Amino acid sequence: MQELVNQLIEKAGISQEQAHKTIDTIKDFIKDKFPMMAGAVDNLFPAATPAAAATAQDASAPPIPSPSMMDKISDFIPGEIGEKIESFAKDKFGG
């Protein structure tokens, strides 16, 4: 992400804050126009704001669901499939 910010600063002659706002604006635009791509956009452009970037998780690592979230998987996906997914998530990520 920082590489993109640096290129915007260099090529567009804008500040770091403006570069982050530009990326956020583009992300929001794509997510509004193509909602089915929201997850991919978030993965491609993680945490564009400086404060969020400092606490952002490594984009190459999959997000780790919280234990309480893993307990609710079968609530959203009923039946045996939901239970299998919940069990898989608990085995994979602990919980």
Domain definitions of the chain by residue range? 2-55, 64-95
Average pLDDT along the chain: 74
Measured CA to CA in angstroms, residue 87 lies from 17, 74, 83, 84 at distances of: 43, 9, 6, 5
What would the pLDDT profile of 51-91 be if each residue is shown by its tens digit?
Answer: 444 444 444 555 555 555 556 666 666 677 777 777 777 77
Residue 63, CB-side half-sphere exposure with 13 Å CA sphere: 11
pLDDT at position 14 over 90: yes
CB 65 within 8 A of CB 93: yes
Helices and strands (DSSP H and E) totals, the chain = 7, 0
Q: What is the pLDDT at residue 21?
A: 92
